[in-house]
Structure 1
Amino acid sequence: MKIIIVGCGKVGGTLAKQLCSEGHDVTVLDKDASKLRAMSSGYDVLALEGDASSYSDLKEAGVEDADILIAVTDSDEKNLLCCLIGRKTGNLKAIARVRNPVYNSEVEFFRKGFGLAMVINPEMAAASEIARMFRFPSAINIETFAKGHIELLTFHLPEHSKLAGKPLTYIHSKLHTDVLVVMVKRGDQVTIPSGDFVVQAGDVLSIVTGHGQAHDFFGKIGIETNRVKNVMIVGGGKVTYYVAKKLIENGISVKIIERDRTKCDELSDLLPRAEIIHGDGIDEDLLLEEGIEVVDGFTALTGLDEQNIMIGLFAKSVSKSNVKLVTKITKISFDDVIARLNLGSIVNPKEITADYILQFVRSMQASVGSEMENLYKLPDSNAEAMEFHIGEQCKACDIPLQKLRLKKNILIAKIYRGDHLFTPTGSDYMQVGDTVVLVALREHKITNLDDILER
């Protein structure tokens, strides 16, 4: 497909890299010539210098015959105007990044009035991820499929776990629980495992299970799943507001530490049920005085990655309650180094934004036989989890799974049929109307369900 990306920042660069690798014709438009040079030297893109709100510049970028226009500049208004020009000029799908909380209540108007395919708020998307992580503190990451009926959780397997040193068949034969391990990461090696795979302490596991079943599984393998009752947040920006609002709605007590008096006053008005502390979040004495040692959950959401990392490491080092730590990182890109630090769950708003947009692009490529509903990258790996709704022309339908010629490193994890959720065996099959969750290595570049079959 022909795709125009307007804005050459972190999100635009991530999108350009991924979309190029998937064979799309990508054009990038930005006012910053130095960013464009770096982009064109690293990726197979057409880089054009121009303004997001200029009709002539967008026309030069090919807006008249483009399939998708993605506006991710730093200006909400420019993104919206750019998409409006694109919709009026060509027959394309338009996606706008909109960050200002003022516009949150107007998203539906933008979609319908401007004809936008997607409006995404990075801070709100990140807040949803963070709030979900506090709901299940044992997990590094949590995603949901089939409107919440299916959950995918990623976690570290501790030394004391009953599962360590056991083959995966142990889960069904001895624990009698319907949980499927879909990915194991050991060091730098990522494996989509079979039943005889033996997991070891220190492995990172991703599991797929029905809603609410993970608590029982974690209990059986000896991992505590204590509910987070209170959370301390350092930083009073947009993400903090969204996170605090969601946590309070879920009955979790929230304490926010912010050094800007004006922001403290604003948060007090917006979040009357939260405790707002005016102070510097990098002051160790203040953090100790406010109870960082005994909080159930902690997250640093300042605008500086370095501060978030250092405060998070301090929280982990002084915790007496096995604190659930979530760390927001936006700019630092030393992924391997960051992964080795004890930072708990890591959230990157810009990567989350890029993932949502990539999911939409993949869904547009899907054939009439299957429609991609969700796409998630598994943490720190080259594997992806996908959700498909099966249409009438799917070639993989009504054939026992054991007879399908599946590509290597593809695992069909769950089938949701009517109100029935099950882990399929070789004799089971997919049929029209099913929701199917599968896991595959990213190298397969799956856009519809038929891509899982050998040609």
Structure 2
Amino acid sequence: MKIVIVGDGKVGYTLTEQLAKEGHDIVVIDSSQQALQNSMNSLDVIGIRGNGAALEVQMEAGVNRADLLIAVTSSDELNLLCCIVAKKIGARHTIARVRNPEYTKQLVLMKEEFGMSMFINPEFLAALEISRILRFPSASKIDSFAKGRVDLVEIKINENSPLDGYPLHTLYEKYKVKVLVCAVQRGERVFIPDGNFVLRSGDRISITASPAEIESFFRAIGIVSHKVRSVLIVGGGRITYYLARQLLELGMKVKIIEIDRARCDKLCEMLPDADIIHGDGTSEELLLEEGVENTDAFVALTDMDEENIILSMYAASKSQGKIVAKINRISFLEIIENSGIESVISPKYLTANQIIRYVRALRNSLGSKVETLYRIVNNKAEALEFKVGERARVIGKTLTQLELKENLLIACIVRKGRIIIPRGSDQIEHGDSVIVVTTNSSLRDLDDILK
């Protein structure tokens, strides 16, 4: 596909990198020659310097012949204008990043009026991700499929865990719960395990099942899930606003520390039920004064990755609560893993996942399309949900009869609301939702799982 990306910042570069890996023809527009040069040197893409909303710049980039234009500059208004111009001159599909909460209620109207395909809000996606984690604090990451009927949960096997040393095929016999371990990270390696795989302490495992079965499994292995009632957030940006609003609706007590006085005043207006503290969230004295030792959850949401790492490490040393950090640079993930911080979110990768899912669905308009896509185990594997079309080649055969690609697992089948943790004798039927976990990238159709 021919894709034009306007904006070469953090989100734009991540999108360019991911979509270029999937073999798309990418043109990047940005006003910064240095940013463009970096992308052109690192990735196989074309860069054009200029205003992405200008007609002559879009024509030079070939937007009139593009399958998709994605506008992810730092300005919501510029992104909307880019998409309007692109649609007028012939781009088939357009996606705009819109982050301002004041525009939220108008997005449906704008989508209809301007013919846009999709709006994306990285801060809202990040808040949603953190909210999911805080609702299930025993997990380090939670992804949902089939409209919430199936969860994919990541946990770490600690020392003295009853799972240490157990082969996977014994789990049902021992615990009588219908869960499937579909990915294991051991050090730098990622495994898509079979029934003979033996778990070890230190492994990070991804489990798929219904939320009720996962809760039963956690209880069976001795993981007690304490409900989060109080949350301390450092940083008062857009993610904090969206997150606080969701947590307050869930009945949690929310306290926000923000260093900018004007932003504190704004948050007080927008979040009257939250406690807003004007102060330096990196101050140990202030954190202790505001109850970091007793809070059920601590979330570091400043604009600096380094600050979020240090704050999270400090909170982890003082509190038994859930610790969540926002990190954009993937190079920091190894440091964080070794520090004991289990839950990390990255707005730019969440955004990339959403858009890549949409792009893969566009490329496959007739087959079994990608409904949901998540990158798991530090972006080293993918979990995808497919809706099974009537022409799918996987229909009518047992799973044992299917010749699947290596490093791939059918993790779950959802049929008319019923969750099936698959066995070799199960079959896939038309209309099913099928969840696949794999280290192979670029699956666009369910039939791509076959050799």
> Structure 1 length normalisation: TM-score?
0.97
Letter in 2 for 1:180: L
CA drift of 1:390 comes to 0.8
Letter in 1 for 2:174: K
Does residue 239 of structure 1 match 2:251? no
Q: Deviations over 1:151-182 (max 9, x none)?
A: 00111111122111101112111101000000
**Which stretch shifts more, 149-158 or 11-20?**
11-20
Question: 1:29, 1:269 → 2: CA distance?
Answer: 37
**Which stretch shifts more, 157-166 or 255-264?**
255-264
Letter in 1 for 2:327: I
CA drift of 1:91 comes to 4.2
Question: 1:263, 1:44 → 2: CA distance?
Answer: 41
Does residue 154 of structure 1 match 2:154? yes
Letter in 1 for 2:403: R
* Kept in 1: contact 2:185–2:377 (CA 8 A): no
Residue 273 of structure 1 corresponds to 273
Where structure 2 has 5 or more consecutive residues not aligned to the other structure, the ranges are none
Kindly report which structure 2 residues correspond to 1:360-399, keeping only aligned pairs within 5 A, or say none.
Answer: 360-399=358-397
Kindly report which structure 2 residues correspond to 1:207-226, keeping only aligned pairs within 5 A, or say none.
Answer: 207-226=207-226
The number of equivalent residue pairs is: 451
* Kept in 1: contact 2:65–2:91 (CA 8 A): yes
Residue 308 of structure 1 corresponds to 308
Question: 1:192, 1:237 → 2: CA distance?
Answer: 38
Question: 1:380, 1:270 → 2: CA distance?
Answer: 34
* Kept in 1: contact 2:69–2:91 (CA 8 A): no
Letter in 2 for 1:425: R
Question: 1:277, 1:6 → 2: CA distance?
Answer: 37
Residue 3 of structure 1 corresponds to 3
Relative to 1, partners in 2 of residues 1:328 and 1:81: Cα closer, same or farther, differing over 3 Å?
same
Matched residue SS, 2:20: helix
Residue 84 of structure 2 corresponds to 84
Letter in 2 for 1:355: N
Residue 452 of structure 1 corresponds to 449
* Kept in 1: contact 2:324–2:345 (CA 8 A): yes
Question: 2:54, 2:289 → 1: CA distance?
Answer: 53
Question: 1:450, 1:12 → 2: CA distance?
Answer: 30
Aligned match for 2:416, one of 415, 418, 424:
418
Does residue 170 of structure 1 match 2:170? yes
> Structure 2 length normalisation: TM-score?
0.97
Where structure 1 has 5 or more consecutive residues not aligned to the other structure, the ranges are none
Letter in 2 for 1:146: A
Q: Deviations over 1:83-107 (max 9, x none)?
A: 1111111141100001111111111
CA drift of 1:241 comes to 1.0
* Kept in 2: contact 1:157–1:205 (CA 8 A): yes
Question: 2:117, 2:277 → 1: CA distance?
Answer: 40
Question: 1:344, 1:405 → 2: CA distance?
Answer: 36
Residue 248 of structure 1 corresponds to 248
Matched residue SS, 1:213: helix
Q: Deviations over 1:353-378 (max 9, x none)?
A: 11111111111122522011000000
Question: 1:216, 1:261 → 2: CA distance?
Answer: 46
Letter in 2 for 1:281: G
Kindly report which structure 2 residues correspond to 1:10-409, keeping only aligned pairs within 5 A, or say none.
Answer: 10-319=10-319, 322-331=320-329, 333-409=331-407
Q: Deviations over 1:373-398 (max 9, x none)?
A: 00000031421000011111111111
Question: 1:167, 1:178 → 2: CA distance?
Answer: 15
Question: 2:267, 2:213 → 1: CA distance?
Answer: 36
Residue 427 of structure 1 corresponds to 425
Letter in 2 for 1:122: P
* Kept in 2: contact 1:190–1:381 (CA 8 A): no
Residue 438 of structure 2 corresponds to 440
Relative to 1, partners in 2 of residues 1:196 and 1:381: Cα closer, same or farther, differing over 3 Å?
farther
Question: 1:74, 1:100 → 2: CA distance?
Answer: 11
Question: 1:265, 1:439 → 2: CA distance?
Answer: 45
* Kept in 2: contact 1:141–1:379 (CA 8 A): no
**Which stretch shifts more, 143-152 or 206-215?**
206-215
Relative to 1, partners in 2 of residues 1:171 and 1:378: Cα closer, same or farther, differing over 3 Å?
same
CA drift of 1:341 comes to 2.4
CA drift of 1:288 comes to 0.8
CA drift of 1:434 comes to 0.5
* Kept in 2: contact 1:305–1:332 (CA 8 A): no
Matched residue SS, 1:437: strand
* Kept in 2: contact 1:382–1:442 (CA 8 A): no
Q: Deviations over 1:178-199 (max 9, x none)?
A: 0000000000010000011000
* Kept in 2: contact 1:301–1:328 (CA 8 A): yes
Question: 2:417, 2:332 → 1: CA distance?
Answer: 44
Q: Deviations over 1:130-171 (max 9, x none)?
A: 111101111111000000000001111111221111011121
* Kept in 2: contact 1:367–1:448 (CA 8 A): no
* Kept in 2: contact 1:268–1:274 (CA 8 A): yes
* Kept in 1: contact 2:408–2:440 (CA 8 A): no
CA drift of 1:213 comes to 2.1
State the identity %. 46
Question: 1:327, 1:12 → 2: CA distance?
Answer: 22
Question: 1:266, 1:15 → 2: CA distance?
Answer: 32
CA drift of 1:343 comes to 2.5
